[in-house]
Chain A
Amino acid sequence: MREMDNTAVLENKLFMPATESEKATVEIMRPSVGYWKDAWRRLRANKVAIGALVVILLVLLAAVIGPMLSPYKYDQIIKGSENLSPNVQHIFGTDSLGRDLFTRTMIGARISIAVGVVAAIMISIIGILYGAVSGFLGGWADIVMMRIVDIVYSVPTVLIVILLQVVLKDPIDKYLSSANSPAFLKGLGVGLISIFFVLALLYWVDMARIVRGQILALKEQEYVLAAKVLGASSRDIISKHLIPNCIGQIIVVATLKIPEAIFVESFLSFIGLGVSIPMASLGSLSQAALKGIYSYPYMLIFPAATISVIILSMNLFGDGLRDALDPRMKK
């Protein structure tokens, strides 16, 4: 076998100082990737989540500007065209009073999404504040506050909605009929307002638990100690160090709360506790369709399918968001 030649010839000219252009090629030019950019990159790679986001945006578009473009108003009764099947004029058909179902479904989606988003915001505000205080204080305060959470968690939703509607009906009616009540509240009616109350009162507990858990872990971090040594107040420590460091989980929980709230609203409207006529929500449309389910099944299919599409895409998007914002949670 031929002997391997392992010797390399080293000459002086190999050891010249690098030129400026050579140095420039080694320099790291890529700008650093921040937290949000990195999360967006991971999210973009998730096709299911992006598909869900597109669906959400389309539904949102239809819900927000769709009714304005429609030739019919949601409460416009067209005499002589009751119970029409889907056709060119009315692509979702009409209901038993001759109202265009496509417009009503878009209005219903608008109400449902609005309920979901507003509820998620209320849930987040209450849950973050409560959870942050509980986790930060720790000890006895934490134990008591978490037992309250357990109690709230065990309260049956439907019961509270019915009770609240009974209790709130008079005061809200009085307030709504008074001159200085805002116009947008008048459109909501007692049912929807009490649904908001219930969502705000009962559904913040998940958020509170998750924020508390995060803060319990984060408050032992040394950077929190560093802030204490500098003399930072508890409020500053919570708002500047603790909450920003669990913002990823907060966004994920809030996103997943939107479909949950939509579901609750639809369910309550379906059993007749939601929006008042002639306002429509996806739940009340489904309920109205029940009477004629054998003759006109499309009346139920369209609103019910819209609920499903919204909830499914929101859940898928929320899951994708969790994977993107919190890569450690990925299984």
Chain B
Amino acid sequence: MVNSEVLLEVNNLKQYFHIRNNLGEKASVKAVDDVTFNIYRGETLGLVGESGSGKTTLGRSILRIYDLTDGRIKFSGVDITKLRKDKLLPYRKKMQYIFQDPYASLDPRMTVSDIVGEALDIHKLASSKKDREDKIRDLLKLVGLNTEHSSRYPHEFSGGQRQRIGIARAIAVEPEFIVCDEPVSALDVSIRAQIINTLEEMQERLNLTYLFISHDLGVVRHTCDRVGVMYLGHFVELVESEELYKNPLHPYTQALLTAIPEPDPEMAKKRNRIILKGEIPSPVNPPSGCKFRTRCPFAKDLCSQQIPEFKDQGNGHYVACHFTGKI
């Protein structure tokens, strides 16, 4: 399944945003705080967590959309953290992004062929006008759109079709790695499966590696090889997806998993739901020690004093908790 070639190496990535509060004091939002992980070639790494946990920011930081506050990103062995615009261009071709909202991510004044063609133009992938047209047609066919759609504008399409246009734009540059930022959560439930299948088909055909951001644990279980769980800018757990569902070690993951709706009412009654109290704390002023301690049912004194290490518990099961295995 997963081969061991590291495609993307993220080390101690920190992404802070500087803001001013209404008194004019400077503060920083610690959207992603000290995250380290690898993505292997050909795998799909899931990224889950509630709203505000930093999933999207992490995905965008990896693509160098923001300037990193600290840390390092290596793409197939090359450090791309500090690359300037012109040097970064070849890596822009290798890493792409699929957006959550298919309504906002397509320019309303461009036709479908212009949207997909823009990718080809920037990286000079078409040798002639005819070649460009042929490539656009092939791409549209590949993602399951009609080729006569190419002269239409985005507003003429449904959400699912728009998302297919977004996928066509992303794969137009023949990337190796794609960040899928909740690609199906804005879509109608009935089309989600189609888009997921299209994404999986593309992965197989084009040998893609995905970072799949989602808060739908069912979708993640279906699509991902490994899953990382984020809380307040930190990874709390990272493990192969079957193992995560069978044997969650972090109390936050356990709470998330019990929150998946259970269709069978008998089973639902028997289930022991862990209900988290309160809201995710503000990333401007996060709690000391373990970030999750304010909502953790098992929190002890140690949790407020020391930041738990993100440790391998054996067989690649990473957890950040002081009491791993004891709860």
Q: Is the CB of B156 within 8 A of A32?
A: yes
Known A32-B153, A230-B173; judge A225-B65 contact (CB<8 A): yes
Q: Is the CB of A226 within 8 A of B169?
A: yes
Q: Is the CB of A241 within 8 A of B96?
A: no
Known A32-B152, A231-B93; judge A226-B99 contact (CB<8 A): yes
Q: Is B158 an interface residue (CB 8 A)?
A: no
Q: Mark A1-45, 1 if CB is under 8 A from B, else 0.
A: 000000000000000000000000000000010110000000000
Q: How far is the CA of A139 from the CA of B97 in the complex (A)?
A: 26
Q: Is A114 an interface residue (CB 8 A)?
A: no
Q: How far is the CA of A244 from the CA of B107 in the complex (A)?
A: 10
Known A32-B153, A222-B104, A223-B104; judge A229-B97 contact (CB<8 A): yes
Q: Is the CB of B107 within 8 A of A245?
A: yes
Q: Is A64 an interface residue (CB 8 A)?
A: no
Among residues 44 to 86 in chain B, which have CB atoms less than 8 Å away from a CB atom of chain A? 63, 65
Q: Is the CB of A222 within 8 A of B101?
A: yes
Q: Is the CB of B63 within 8 A of A229?
A: yes
Residues of A contacting B93 in the complex (Cβ-Cβ under 8 angstroms): 231
Query: What is the minimal beta-carbon distance from B141 to any residue of chain A, in angstroms?
Result: 21
Which residue of chain A has its CB nearest to the CB of B173?
A: A230
Interface stretch among B21-29, B117-125, B282-290? B117-125
Q: How large is the interface on A (under 10, 10 to 19, 20 to 34, 35 or more residues)?
A: 20 to 34
**Residue of B97, B101, B109 with most partner-chain A CB within 10 A:** B109
Which residue of chain A has its CB nearest to the CB of B172?
A: A230
**Residue of A34, A222, A244 with most partner-chain B CB within 10 A:** A222
Known A32-B152, A34-B153; judge A226-B105 contact (CB<8 A): yes
Residues of B contacting A32 in the complex (Cβ-Cβ under 8 angstroms): 152-153, 156
Query: What is the minimal beta-carbon distance from B100 to any residue of chain A, in angstroms?
Result: 8
Q: Is the CB of B104 within 8 A of A230?
A: no
Q: Is A291 an interface residue (CB 8 A)?
A: no
Q: How far is the CA of A221 from the CA of B152 in the complex (A)?
A: 21
Q: Is A174 an interface residue (CB 8 A)?
A: no
Which residue of chain B has its CB nearest to the CB of A218?
A: B107
Q: Is the CB of A230 within 8 A of B92?
A: yes
Which residue of chain A has its CB nearest to the CB of B60?
A: A225
Q: Is the CB of A227 within 8 A of B118?
A: yes
Query: What is the minimal beta-carbon distance from A323 to any residue of chain B, in angstroms?
Result: 19
Among residues 219 to 266 in chain A, which have CB atoms less than 8 Å away from a CB atom of chain B? 221-223, 225-232, 236, 240-241, 244-245, 247
Q: Is the CB of B107 within 8 A of A223?
A: yes
Q: Is the CB of B104 within 8 A of A229?
A: no
Residues of A contacting B96 in the complex (Cβ-Cβ under 8 angstroms): 229-230
Q: Is B31 an interface residue (CB 8 A)?
A: no
Which residue of chain A has its CB nearest to the CB of B107?
A: A223
Q: How far is the CA of A34 from the CA of B109 in the complex (A)?
A: 9
Q: Is B89 an interface residue (CB 8 A)?
A: yes
Q: Is the CB of A231 within 8 A of B89?
A: yes
Q: Is the CB of A222 within 8 A of B105?
A: yes
Q: How far is the CA of A240 from the CA of B97 in the complex (A)?
A: 20
Q: Is the CB of A245 within 8 A of B109?
A: yes
Q: Is B88 an interface residue (CB 8 A)?
A: yes
Q: Is the CB of B107 within 8 A of A241?
A: yes
Q: Is the CB of A245 within 8 A of B108?
A: yes
Which residue of chain A has its CB nearest to the CB of B99?
A: A222
Among residues 116 to 144 in chain B, which have CB atoms less than 8 Å away from a CB atom of chain A? 118-119, 122-123
Q: Is the CB of B153 within 8 A of A232?
A: no
Q: Is B106 an interface residue (CB 8 A)?
A: yes
Known A32-B152, A34-B153; judge A229-B92 contact (CB<8 A): yes
Which residue of chain B has its CB nearest to the CB of A232?
A: B122
Q: How far is the CA of A240 from the CA of B153 in the complex (A)?
A: 15
Q: Mark B147-185, 1 if CB is under 8 A from A, else 0.
A: 000001100100000000010010001000000000000
Which residue of chain A has its CB nearest to the CB of B154?
A: A223
Q: How far is the CA of A189 from the CA of B99 in the complex (A)?
A: 58
Q: How far is the CA of A229 from the CA of B107 in the complex (A)?
A: 14
Residues of B contacting A230 in the complex (Cβ-Cβ under 8 angstroms): 92, 96, 118-119, 122-123, 169, 173
Contact for B122 among A35, A231, A247, CB less than 8 A: A231
Residues of B contacting A222 in the complex (Cβ-Cβ under 8 angstroms): 99, 101, 104-105
Q: How far is the CA of A301 from the CA of B65 in the complex (A)?
A: 63
Contact for B109 among A225, A232, A244, CB less than 8 A: A244
Residues of B contacting A228 in the complex (Cβ-Cβ under 8 angstroms): 65
Residues of A contacting B63 in the complex (Cβ-Cβ under 8 angstroms): 229
Q: How far is the CA of A122 from the CA of B106 in the complex (A)?
A: 32
Residues of A contacting B156 in the complex (Cβ-Cβ under 8 angstroms): 32
Q: How far is the CA of A228 from the CA of B118 in the complex (A)?
A: 11
Q: How far is the CA of A244 from the CA of B99 in the complex (A)?
A: 22
Q: How far is the CA of A130 from the CA of B211 in the complex (A)?
A: 39
Q: How far is the CA of A20 from the CA of B107 in the complex (A)?
A: 37
Residues of A contacting B89 in the complex (Cβ-Cβ under 8 angstroms): 231
Can you report 14 A-B residue pairs in the complex whose CB atoms are below 8 A from each other?
A32-B152, A32-B153, A35-B109, A223-B105, A223-B107, A226-B105, A228-B65, A229-B63, A230-B92, A230-B119, A230-B123, A244-B110, A245-B109, A247-B109
The 5 closest A-B pairs by CB, nearest first: A231-B92, A222-B105, A222-B104, A223-B107, A244-B109
